[in-house]
Structure 1
Amino acid sequence: MIGVIILFVLHWYGSLFFQTFFHHRYASHAMFTMSRTWEKIFHVLAWIFQGTSYLSPYAYGVMHRLHHTHADTEKDPHSPIYDKNLWNMMWNTRRFYNEVDRGIKDIDPKYIKGVPSWRAWDKFAEHNITRIAWIGVYILLYWLVGAPLWAYFVFIPMHSLMSPLHGAIINWFSHKYGYRNYEVKDTSTNLMPVDWLMWGECLHNNHHKFGGRPNFAVKKFEFDPMFVCIRIMEKLNIIQYKKGKLDTDYM
């Protein structure tokens, strides 16, 4: 059972790392820059760690920019105000994401500008055969660590839906529970001051106030672990951190 826990924790934090670092802070908000080579490397790494629930950085970035512009309005891709429950919100989010991903959603060009796009890779990574193959990998790994039968039915579905699970925590619970440092026009909250669970994403109210700020922590008692990673990758010259960057029209 220890092996199952280790696999789940590694997948949880590994998948979420790329979702917050690459999809959110880079693709959506352009908080830092990187070379085209590194951009493709992070596309591949995101696929490896997200697996079955791989999200296109392009579709994610466009949808998230729209979320910031229309937060908690009828045009918001995901709002707990206009969706009657968590499942309804996530289903509508999936539908909206698919429309953006397939290019059938009419999008203002300003929301697309600068979003990383490797559509050939996305097509491969999001193909049904590829997603099913990843489920096979999860089953094999659980077999290798000697997981009990019940663990397959409890944990494999969560591995398969890891990215939507992360999204549900932020888009639902971080708009309903927690505390607020700022009175913004939406319902965003901070779930926890030291975000050990979501790589800093739970400092959501702070982020909605300062959408382009790489460090989501604002108060002295708050801590954003992803910002530490950003600074380390800057020192390694993997990225170029935009110091002093705040908001733009879509942030």
Structure 2
Amino acid sequence: MFTTSKTAERVFYLMAYFFEGASFLNPRAYAIMHREHHAYSDTEKDPHSPHFFTDIFQMMKATIITFRDHLKRTTEPEARFSGNYPEWPLIDRIGSSILSRLLFGAAYTCFYIVYASHWWMFLLLPIHFMMGPVHGAIVNWCGHKYGYTNFDNNDQSKNTTPFDFLMLGELFQNNHHRHPNSANFGKRWFEIDPVYPVMKLMHCMRIIKLRKAF
């Protein structure tokens, strides 16, 4: 969707590690898995199509296994899925380590201990620990089961809601599968992708360079 300088890429990499924290996702492994998802959308080769699992937890389990295989390089991806993704081996090793995830989890817990004003708030901690996988599960389950379609993509991708602020535009899955290189996931006048204006601003500030969508 965009290109950027090597310096900005490293800054974004560090920010991704810091803000994803306990649920840091290795960019290379995620990129390969996401490309497989687009290439095999809602077929048996799709790493996380909800139409081949009895519930969302089984889908999450299968997704984790696929991601782990790419992370540990135990499976060789098709050549067309490799390349053109950022890599930083040091951050990848740290961010994917059990120690890093435990330290972030401890930091989250300490924050809740200091600032939580009611006991029930601690029930949110598991979601905080697993925010990345939870977000991915919602997007891939709901975005391929519930909603409406603008395009016939030969799959089950849906636009779950016309106002997608909670998932930051990612529940416009039908649009995204039709135009995977477009930074704007919203395609109709009432479909608002809240991240796109931010990317446009970053483009104007020359932090990134948006590519022409094909």
TM over 0.5: yes
Structure 2: segments with no counterpart, 5+ residues:
none
Is the aligned partner of 1:245 residue 2:206?
Answer: no
Q: Distance in 2 between matches of 1:83 and 1:119?
A: 33
Q: Distance in 1 between matches of 2:120 and 2:162?
A: 35
Q: Distance in 2 between matches of 1:183 and 1:216?
A: 16
**Aligned-pair RMSD on alpha carbons?**
1.1
Match of 1:18 in 2: none
Structure 1: segments with no counterpart, 5+ residues:
1-30, 247-251
Q: Distance in 1 between matches of 2:149 and 2:201?
A: 29
Structure 1 residues 34 and 147: alpha-carbon distance in aligned structure 2, compared to 1, 3 A threshold: same
TM-score, normalised by the number of residues in structure 2: 0.96
Is the aligned partner of 1:200 residue 2:169?
Answer: yes
Match of 1:181 in 2: 150
1:226, distance to aligned residue in structure 2 (A): 1.1
Is the aligned partner of 1:35 residue 2:5?
Answer: yes
AA aligned opposite 2:137: A
Is the aligned partner of 1:213 residue 2:182?
Answer: yes
Match of 2:81 in 1: 111
After TM superposition, the structure 1 stretch with the greater mean CA deviation from structure 2, 109-118 or 51-60, is 109-118
Count how many residue pairs are aligned between Structure 1 and Structure 2: 214
Q: Distance in 2 between matches of 1:135 and 1:211?
A: 33
Match of 2:58 in 1: 88
Q: Deviations over 1:42-80 (max 9, x none)?
A: 111111111101111111111100100001111111111
Is the aligned partner of 1:159 residue 2:132?
Answer: no
AA aligned opposite 2:20: Q
Identity of aligned residues (%): 36
SS in structure 2 of the partner of residue 211 of structure 1: coil
1:164, distance to aligned residue in structure 2 (A): 0.5
Q: Distance in 2 between matches of 1:146 and 1:158?
A: 15
Q: Deviations over 1:84-139 (max 9, x none)?
A: 21100000000000000111112122211211111221110111011000111111
Q: Distance in 2 between matches of 1:113 and 1:51?
A: 25
